[in-house]
Amino acid sequence: MKRFFSTLFRWLGRLRNVLVNGIFLLFLLIFVAAIFSARPEVPSRAALIIEPSGQIVEELELPSSAALPLDLSFSAPNQANLHHLIAAITHAADDERIRVLVLRLSNMGKTSMPKLQALRDAIAVFKASGKTVIAVGPNYSQSQYYLAAMADQVFLDPMGVVALQGFSIYRNYFKAALDKLHVDVQLFRAGKYKAAIEPLIRNDMSDEDKAANQALLSVLWSAYKQDVAAMRGIKAEHLQAMLDRPADFLATYDGDYAALFKAEGLVDELADYHGIEAAIAAAVGSGNYDSIGFHDYLAATASELPPAKAQQVGVIVASGMIVDGKQPPGMVGSESMIEMLDRARLNPSVKALVLRIDSPGGSAQASEAIRRAVIHFQASGKPVVVSMGSLAASGGYWIAAPADEIWAAPTTITGSIGAFGVMANIEQGLEKLGIHSDGLGTTAIASGIRADRAMPAQLVQVMGLAMKHTYRRFLTVVADGRGMSIEAVAELAEGRVWTGVDAQRLGLVNELGSFKSAVAAAAKLASIEDDYSLQWIKPELGLREMILLQLFGNADASTSRRLSQVASAFGFALPASLQKNIEDYAEILALSAGQPRIFTFCDVQVSQ
């Protein structure tokens, strides 16, 4: 009898696995079929709907899945690709079928100034064609409102809010909490402004960090105010006064937010859903207007793009933390970047390269490996131009340093030339619980770096010496790449961050301009400015990654909803957005576990 039930349960387990995998494959086939069977077409008179969902990024991350296809608990990233949005908007400017651009921004997450300004420039191209731009939303966050302000008509719900508040940098500081937990954090740092790890060793922001952040915020907020003022035809000083004394202004309108925003010129019309739909229909010129989302629009117009030319400017995106090895999109892996640089170098059609960097840095070793690969690419006689996105600091600047030219947006965050290492152990906390660590080894450092023991004295000295060496190396890398003396670099280093405006003034950046300007500069350096096309160079992906990108790479809000509906039919729970698997501090501590690691990482997060 025991053997009977054992055999029965074993076969039931196998049957369960077959059913689970079969259901998943059925679900996968249904969704793939839905994607490929629905070939979008552009209506003859239509509104192009720009409805980004989540963060706007340089490169879409893959959905997370630890064991696809056996594990069904995966989720699609809640992101929108910046370059896809720009391509859709600019292509629609010359498309007679698109009569109006509609900005539905309520699902868009917080977005940096350089990305907002790049989208603003694309919208300006659309408006220059003589077509109408309409912004709609029940409410607008600060990032959402920046884009909305560019519209010819900004609609707001009669009970809606424009949530302007200014920019800020606030962090949580954990020293007191770690002390209570008896966690000892040992920090090695080169650069008095290198504040990325300060929250682990302080309870407040250091004076040096405050000074650097104040300068940074002043530039970013001034750019936001001036841009919005210009787009809405109001004075920047008046906008500042409204946010410094919001209660005084709101009292004038008896607490009616929407009335205040309309009277002050921030929005044009207060209207509900039906009123907004009527306005869009009028702009399209049709009572029941047709519309198309930007992902469908890109798919429908892909065949209309001009063919690739014999001479090309290659584009490689370095987006995310810099780490060793091969990494998926959303991370900058040293091996992945080297492989792409080699492909571009060996491609005879690629005459120049634009390295688009949107990275806070990470591993010093990985950054140096990528930098050497950039120099190897240049040795082939092809120029490299760096285009900085929102953040190209610390290790992000390390890999940018050797470029023939560096371009940044005025509001790019860059610099942070410094280094740090951090180790944590919980020896004292364990001892409070009655857990002790003891043993012996063959050398003074044989115990290595352990979470349950203090670092050996010799290793402490080793880390200090290695930190100084890495910092000197960073200074040399910048000096060699930028044609500056080490002394000159040292004066603007110390881990301090700079905006693009200041970086150009200091010589860290050659020019201020957009991604498009950087591409044009690369073509000019290669003497192909009159006849070239772009070649986006992507990481080589396996079957799993290709399937996931096909499924989710173009997933907008509506696609995610359709997927959730299909998944629900099979009883699967599919989260609406992708959360980061590991927060930055946990990532750094995890990478440091068991071995001394030196990081060139910048953690400047502006709340905007």
pLDDT the model gives residue 62: 67
pLDDT > 90? residue 568: no
Asked if 63 contacts 74 with a C-beta cutoff of 8 angstroms, the reply is yes
How would residue 78 be classed by pLDDT, with cut points 50, 70 and 90?
confident
Radius of gyration of the chain (CA): 27
Closest by Cα among 174, 116, 135 to 606: 116
Distance between CA atoms of 54 and 65, rounded to whole angstroms? 19
416 a catalytic residue: no
- DSSP-derived letter for residue 404 is S
How far from chain centre, in Å, is Cα 180? 35
Distances (CA, A) of 493 to 479, 496, 506: 11, 6, 11
pLDDT the model gives residue 9: 55
What value does the mean pLDDT take over residues 433-457? Answer: 77
Give tens-digit pLDDT for 339-396.
999 999 999 999 999 999 999 998 889 999 999 999 999 999 999 999 999 999 999 9
What value does the mean pLDDT take over residues 50-69? Answer: 74
Asked if 425 contacts 184 with a C-beta cutoff of 8 angstroms, the reply is yes
Distance between CA atoms of 275 and 134, rounded to whole angstroms? 13
41-162+267-304+546-569 and 312-540+584-601, same CATH topology: yes
| Tokens 């990528």 belong to residue | 370
Closest by Cα among 305, 272, 21, 306 to 159: 272
Distance between CA atoms of 397 and 416, rounded to whole angstroms? 8
How would residue 443 be classed by pLDDT, with cut points 50, 70 and 90?
confident
The 10 Å Cβ neighbour count of residue 456 is: 18
pLDDT the model gives residue 198: 82
pLDDT > 60? residue 119: yes
Distance between CA atoms of 602 and 360, rounded to whole angstroms? 5
What value does the mean pLDDT take over residues 450-455? Answer: 75
- The hierarchical CATH code for the domain 312-540+584-601 is 3.90.226.10
**Domain ranges in the chain?**
41-162+267-304+546-569, 312-540+584-601
pLDDT the model gives residue 602: 72
132-136 and 98-104 strand pairing: parallel
pLDDT the model gives residue 170: 85
pLDDT the model gives residue 285: 87
262 a catalytic residue: no
pLDDT > 50? residue 70: no
Distance between CA atoms of 128 and 468, rounded to whole angstroms? 53
What value does the mean pLDDT take over residues 162-180? Answer: 88
Give tens-digit pLDDT for 268-305.
999 999 999 999 999 998 778 899 999 999 999 988 88
Asked if 113 contacts 125 with a C-beta cutoff of 8 angstroms, the reply is no
Given the residues 194, 262, 351, 382, the one annotated as active site: 194
Closest by Cα among 504, 500, 514, 502 to 482: 504
Phi, psi dihedral angles at 15 (to 5 degrees): -65, -40
pLDDT > 70? residue 583: no
Distance between CA atoms of 547 and 550, rounded to whole angstroms? 5
pLDDT the model gives residue 559: 41
What value does the mean pLDDT take over residues 178-204? Answer: 78
The 10 Å Cβ neighbour count of residue 84 is: 19
pTM over 0.85: no
- DSSP-derived letter for residue 320 is S
pLDDT > 60? residue 601: yes
Distances (CA, A) of 448 to 281, 426, 441, 467: 69, 15, 10, 18
pLDDT > 70? residue 459: yes
What value does the mean pLDDT take over residues 78-98? Answer: 95
Distance between CA atoms of 504 and 405, rounded to whole angstroms? 11
**SS3 track for 171-206:** CCCCHHHHHHCCCEEEEEEECCCCCCCHHHCCCCCC
Question: Which has more confidence, 22 or 415?
Answer: 415
pLDDT > 80? residue 187: no
pLDDT the model gives residue 32: 56
Residue 494, Ramachandran bin (φ over 0: left; ψ between -120 and 50: alpha; else beta): left
Distances (CA, A) of 328 to 320, 322, 332, 361, 549: 10, 12, 8, 16, 11
How far from chain centre, in Å, is Cα 527? 32
pLDDT the model gives residue 113: 96
How would residue 608 be classed by pLDDT, with cut points 50, 70 and 90?
low
413-415 and 290-293 strand pairing: unpaired
| Tokens 């070239």 belong to residue | 532
pLDDT > 70? residue 575: no
Q: Amino acid letter at 575? A: P
pLDDT > 90? residue 487: yes
Per-residue burial over 377-395, b if 16 or more Cβ lie within 10 Å, else e, is bbeeebbbbbbbbbbbbbb
The 10 Å Cβ neighbour count of residue 91 is: 20
What value does the mean pLDDT take over residues 571-589? Answer: 42
Q: Where are the alpha helices (DSSP H) in 407-456?
A: 427-432
pLDDT the model gives residue 556: 44
- For the ranges 148-152, 348-352, 439-443, 572-576, the lowest mean pLDDT is seen at 572-576
Q: Where are the alpha helices (DSSP H) in 454-578?
A: 457-482, 486-492, 500-506, 515-525, 543-552, 557-569
Mean pLDDT (the chain) is: 84
Asked if 227 contacts 504 with a C-beta cutoff of 8 angstroms, the reply is no
**Residue 489 CB burial class (10 angstroms; 0-12, 13-18, ≥19):** buried
pLDDT > 50? residue 560: no
pLDDT the model gives residue 371: 98
What value does the mean pLDDT take over residues 219-239? Answer: 96
**Residue 173 CB burial class (10 angstroms; 0-12, 13-18, ≥19):** middle
Question: Which has more confidence, 13 or 190?
Answer: 190
The 10 Å Cβ neighbour count of residue 238 is: 13
Task: Work out the widest C-alpha separation in the chain, in whole angstroms.
Answer: 86
What value does the mean pLDDT take over residues 528-534? Answer: 95
Both ends of the chain: CA-CA distance in Å?
67
Closest by Cα among 390, 398, 447, 450 to 424: 450
Distance between CA atoms of 307 and 153, rounded to whole angstroms? 36
Classify domain 41-162+267-304+546-569 by CATH architecture: Alpha-Beta Complex (3.90)
The 10 Å Cβ neighbour count of residue 211 is: 12
* Token digits of residue 203: 């309870």
Asked if 608 contacts 164 with a C-beta cutoff of 8 angstroms, the reply is no
Asked if 523 contacts 532 with a C-beta cutoff of 8 angstroms, the reply is yes
pLDDT the model gives residue 71: 45
pLDDT the model gives residue 458: 82
Given the residues 143, 363, 387, 394, the one annotated as active site: 394
pLDDT > 90? residue 322: yes
3-state helix, strand, coil in the chain (%, to 5): 45, 20, 35
